[in-house]
Structure 1
Amino acid sequence: MSKTITFINSLGEELVLTNSAPFLLQSFTQSGNVNIYSSKSMNQDGKNYLGNTLDIMDISLEVALVGNTKEELQRYKNKVIKILNPKNGEGWLCYKNNINERKVKCIINKIPFFNIVNSNRVYNGLISLTANNPFWTDLIEDKEEIALWKGDFSFSEDGSDGFELVVGGIEIGHRELSLIVNILNSGDVECGMRIEFKALATLTNPNILNVNTGEYIKINKGMVAGEVISISTYFGSKKVDSILDGVTTNIFNYIDFQSTFLQLDVGDNLFRYNSDTGIDNLEVSIYYQQQYLGV
């Protein structure tokens, strides 16, 4: 099965490894330890299992650089080292085959070393990377919309539809009736999400409830037309922002004290949205990236 691996550093520079020259991917391996926690009582045979965590993930890429001249090979080698420069911080390693497209954030743990293997036309080398977060994710966020207005039909501004001219045109639609959405997490572990509340007009205290667990997150704040509240529950990136007229404001202190940064369990997750007033003026979207143990 053919595969393509692309490393994108923090500057946006890309190194693409494929099954063809000049940057040839020869092998791809990943490994990571599982830390198992247990307890043992006096005179007990064996132990009691308590739980486990995953350690960091190590990724190894065997590569070959193929060129026509020694100078060309040197340019390829310099490009690899420049793009993988650990001083640029973590980058994204993107994996693609005929079935899956996934990515993981990682950084090299050794400067690559290349050996000449064929009359100055081929360099072989090993790229070793470490992913501090051991989970692969989808390339882009999935999106589910709970509450929104859907367009049904419209009248054009230029009268081309045969109706009288209307400045700006008119679009007629309907509001989705359901207050509940089911989100299926088909990944290997739970994952965070990004919740967006959008105000079409004035409303107060938007919130979203996990119907299965009773947990919720609520923002004790009024909203005005055009305002968007974005809540991130991703591990290591929890935040609450208000965006209005192009200005982003941190409103973390408006979170209700009993709120939970909701996660998506593996399988079905039912969510219901609400607000204390103006619920018909609220649109809600949920974005998420499923997490996987491998590719």
Structure 2
Amino acid sequence: MRRLTYENSRGETIVFYLSPLVIESLTGIGEIDADLQSEKAPYQDGDTHIDALLQPRFIDLEGTITRREPEEIKSFRKQILRVCNPKLGLGKITLELDGDAKEIFGVLDGGPVFPERGRNVWQQFMITWKCPNPYWRETFTKSSQMSFVMGGFSFPLRLGTKFSQRSFRRIFLNNGDVETPVHIEFRGPAINPIIKNNTTGEFIQVNRTLSETDKLIIDTKFGQKSVEIEDAAGNRTDAFNWINPQSWFFQLQIGENQLEYNSNNDSTKTRVVISYRNMYVGV
């Protein structure tokens, strides 16, 4: 099965699958161009590889409107043009392929194209999306709560959890192809709360005191990094100025990541929720 659903920024959706909007060809869902970064020293044979930077992904869809009546063809053309409008900016592309589903965000690289029908009774069409972030991601968010428990004891290792008097550790598994950002919600009370990724040695610490009704919200996504404190009324305050200068907006590495929080407070009401999505280089 190969079904593609596009949802624009207005919440309008269109599905390309079987009749009446049949997918004839779909490219760009797996292959992706990369810009190889390297350096070369004098008299060096070849060069030294540094990194590979993925380019934006372009998804090309060719399809057919399997209707014969001119009015029906006209109606579906209007629907495609209305939903797939490049002026609406980024929209969400959801691809269901062989029992699996992934999503990515893309903008129309120009309007849909409808070739001249000629003697063809069916209308063909072509659509291209440009995806600035080339990674596919899971359609669901993985969330796990890290709860504070008094005392110093541990559960069997197979549970991947360990409790201590002032902190909590837990294993988070990134099954994707690349590192992935995290969304953190730290509910008070806490004094100078800190979240550590013990796998990489990186941490984020905010030098503020959280009350029982405060919530610290941290996002480590590239280009959307944020640190905010939300009060009981839902009002948010930018807390970027209060982060420890040595903090790093860490990502979950591929495989197991041991995260730990410290609230510097003995209250059992402290809660930390870590949310993330695995990301993939293709489907």
Q: Is the 8 A contact 1:70 1:120 kept in 2?
A: no
* Code of the aligned partner of 1:77: R
Give the corresponding residue for 1:92. 92
Shift of 1:39: 2.0
Shift of 1:148: 5.8
In the alignment, structure 1 residue 222 sits paired with structure 2 residue 221:
no
Q: Is the 8 A contact 1:205 1:277 kept in 2?
A: no
SS at match of 1:263: coil
**CA pair 50-70 structure 1, distance change in 2 beyond 3 A:** same
CA–CA distance in structure 2, aligned partners of residues 122 and 253 of structure 1: 60
**CA pair 21-206 structure 1, distance change in 2 beyond 3 A:** same
Structure 1, unaligned runs of 5 or more: 150-175
Structure with bigger gyration radius: 1
**CA pair 53-279 structure 1, distance change in 2 beyond 3 A:** farther
In the alignment, structure 1 residue 251 sits paired with structure 2 residue 239:
yes
In the alignment, structure 1 residue 241 sits paired with structure 2 residue 228:
yes
CA–CA distance in structure 2, aligned partners of residues 116 and 73 of structure 1: 13
Q: Is the 8 A contact 2:60 2:126 kept in 1?
A: yes
- Provide the aligned C-alpha RMSD in A: 1.9
Deviations 1:29-88 (A, max 9, x none): 104211112222333222221221111111111111122410111110111011111111
Q: Is the 8 A contact 2:163 2:169 kept in 1?
A: no
TM, length-normalised to structure 1? 0.84
Give the corresponding residue for 2:155. none
* Code of the aligned partner of 1:276: N
CA–CA distance in structure 1, aligned partners of residues 24 and 96 of structure 2: 15
TM, length-normalised to structure 2? 0.88
Q: Is the 8 A contact 2:34 2:55 kept in 1?
A: yes
SS at match of 1:64: strand
Q: Is the 8 A contact 1:203 1:281 kept in 2?
A: no
Q: Is the 8 A contact 2:57 2:130 kept in 1?
A: yes
Give the corresponding residue for 2:157. none
Q: Is the 8 A contact 1:204 1:220 kept in 2?
A: yes
Give the corresponding residue for 1:213. 200
Structure 2, unaligned runs of 5 or more: 150-161
* Code of the aligned partner of 2:13: E
Q: Which moved more, 1:102-111 or 1:117-126?
A: 117-126
Give the corresponding residue for 2:110. 110
**What is the aligned-residue identity percentage?**
29
Q: Which moved more, 1:190-199 or 1:44-53?
A: 44-53
Give the corresponding residue for 1:134. 134
In the alignment, structure 1 residue 184 sits paired with structure 2 residue 182:
no
**CA pair 120-33 structure 1, distance change in 2 beyond 3 A:** closer
Deviations 1:98-124 (A, max 9, x none): 332111111111221113548675211
Q: Is the 8 A contact 2:186 2:272 kept in 1?
A: yes
CA–CA distance in structure 2, aligned partners of residues 117 and 256 of structure 1: 63
* Code of the aligned partner of 1:35: D
Aligned length: 265
SS at match of 1:73: helix
